[in-house]
Amino acid sequence: MEQEKKYPSWQNYQKNIADDHYYYAHSCIRQTFFPGSEAALLNILRNELDKDVFDDPKHTSCNGIGYHSDIVPLQTIMTVVARQFALMTEAGYKNLLASCVTSFGVYNEMLHMWEHHPETLEKTRDYLWKATKREFNLPENVNHTSDVIYKFRKDIFSRAKYSLVHKNNEQPLRIAEHVGCHYAKIFPEKGVGGAEFPRVLTDMIECWGGEVVDYPERRHCCGFGFRQYIIRENRGYSVANTRKKMESLAPYKPDMILANCPGCSMFMDKWQYTIGEMEGKTYGSDGRGIPVLTYEELAGLVLGYDPWDLGLQMHQVDAEPLLKKMGIEYSPAKKYLNAEGKYIGKPMVPHFCSL
């Protein structure tokens, strides 16, 4: 968020985002459902912005999904987090860059507990030493990947090939945003704009030419719920929450949805299919689904990257109507090719709805 001189109280909603030298931590969900976004992030930071990012093969999952579904004890995840910090320390980095909103929440939670209960930090150091013979320093700066795209949004736009403007009428594209719960609801001071006024996505949208669509359930959870999705018979909870959001935002006729959490992005995409099959209902003003993009996918499109390099073919809701609105030149024929350029077949179409 830009420094606001006029109203000092806005200082509480600012966040220090490191400028360079990031230790990157992959996300289990993101690399599974949005691998193109992880690749685009590294490409944008390293090749467009000339930043140093270390991708360490030794780090593992933060174990956050297991923790929030209660099969991983607190001391266990604390020590797993400590191991990530030890690897970062050994590599000579101080700025942690988390690719996942769940991980971002977990890292901040452990740091908060260590600060307020210092005995838990000492205990964790002992456990880590016993288990791995490693030691660690605390990170100086913890960021989510959406923080750095937010920070460099103007640099990205200075290299833009396209903007978030409808090519036919020059009107800004209407974009509904969704910020993942664990980005700022647990520790508001760790997110850009806090939990009340999150600017992390809205400033990207406005900077790149789009218009932010407000809607009543903007801050409602996507419905992941950890155990409420993992267990099949609980998934009614998960789809009901996304349905609540879709019903709330659809009347405002957004051209797309932008989310900063890999789980939220995946659920808001996939549950549109499920709702379509269950109720025959779609939410887009064109009778189709509403495309849900990650912030790197959107940044990548603005920069002129090939949509299929970004992984848009992995979305259940087809993003091609959005590409056409933006006037993006792309090849539909390349959508289902592998790395060698060979056609690998295409998905079946849904039974009851056109997405």
Of 246-305, binders to another protein (CB under 8 A) are 270-271, 273-274
For the segment 47-76, give every residue that binds another protein (CB under 8 A).
55-61, 63-66, 68-76
Minimum Å gap between C-beta 209 and another protein is 27
* 224 touching another protein, by CB under 8 A: yes
For the segment 136-175, give every residue that binds another protein (CB under 8 A).
none
The one among 4, 19, 231, 251 contacting another protein by CB under 8 A:
231
Report the residue number, 83 or 151, with the smaller CB distance to another protein.
Answer: 83
Report the residue number, 36 or 139, with the smaller CB distance to another protein.
Answer: 36
* 209 touching another protein, by CB under 8 A: no
* 125 touching another protein, by CB under 8 A: no
What radius of gyration do the chain's Cα atoms show? 20
Cβ-Cβ contacts under 8 Å for 227 (sequence gap 6 or more): 69, 70, 234
- The angle at the Cα of 315, spanning 313 to 317, to the nearest 5 degrees, equals 115
Minimum Å gap between C-beta 321 and another protein is 16
* 221 touching another protein, by CB under 8 A: yes
* 338 touching another protein, by CB under 8 A: yes
* 108 touching another protein, by CB under 8 A: no
Minimum Å gap between C-beta 7 and another protein is 21
Cα–Cα dist 8/273, whole Å = 46
Beta bridge partners of 292: 257
The one among 210, 225, 284, 291 contacting another protein by CB under 8 A:
225
The one among 166, 235, 253, 281 contacting another protein by CB under 8 A:
235
The one among 311, 319, 322, 325 contacting another protein by CB under 8 A:
311
Cα–Cα dist 35/30, whole Å = 6
